[in-house]
Amino acid sequence: MNEKMVITIDGPAASGKSSVGKLLAEELNFMFLDTGEMYRAVTWAVLNRGIAVENENQVSDLAETINIKILPGSEEDSLRNYIFVDGKDITELIRTNSVNDKVSQISKYKTVRHVLTRIQQKIGSKGRIIMAGRDIGTVVLPEADVKIFLKASADERAKRRFSEEKNKGKEISFSEVLENVTMRDRIDSNRKIAPLIPAADAHIIDTDKKSIQDVVNEIMRIVKRLENSG
**Closest CA relative to residue 126, chosen from 222, 8, 3, 9:** 3
Contacts of 207 (CB under 8 A, 6+ apart): 15, 16, 20, 150, 151, 152, 156, 215
- For the chain, first and last CA: distance in Å? 10
Compare 20 and 194 and report the one with higher pLDDT: 20
Tell me the per-residue pLDDT of 153-200, one tens digit each, with 9 for 90 and over.
999 999 999 998 888 888 889 999 999 899 888 988 888 888 899 999
Are 77 and 160 within 8 A, CB to CB? Answer: no
Are 13 and 185 within 8 A, CB to CB? Answer: yes
Contacts of 79 (CB under 8 A, 6+ apart): 22, 25, 26, 32, 73
Kindly state the DSSP code that residue 186 receives in the 8-state scheme.
H
What is the tally of helices (H) and strands (E) in the chain? 8, 8
Tell me the per-residue pLDDT of 83-142, one tens digit each, with 9 for 90 and over.
999 999 999 999 998 998 899 899 999 999 999 999 999 999 999 999 999 999 999 999
Q: Which of 25-34, 44-53, 72-81, 99-108 has the highest mean pLDDT?
A: 44-53
- Domain spans of the chain? 6-213
- SS3 call for 40: helix
**52 has pLDDT over 90:** yes
Contacts of 129 (CB under 8 A, 6+ apart): 6, 7, 30, 31, 32, 33, 123
Residue 6 CA to residue 79 CA, distance in Å, equals: 16
**Closest CA relative to residue 67, chosen from 95, 86, 94:** 86
Residue 38 CA to residue 103 CA, distance in Å, equals: 10
Are 35 and 120 within 8 A, CB to CB? Answer: yes
Triad 210, 213, 214: Cα angle to 5°:
45
At 68, phi and psi to the nearest 5? -100, 130
Pick the CATH number of 6-213 from 1.20.1070.10, 3.40.50.300, 3.40.50.970, 1.10.150.120: 3.40.50.300
- Sign of the torsion angle spanned by Cα atoms 227, 125, 99, 71: positive
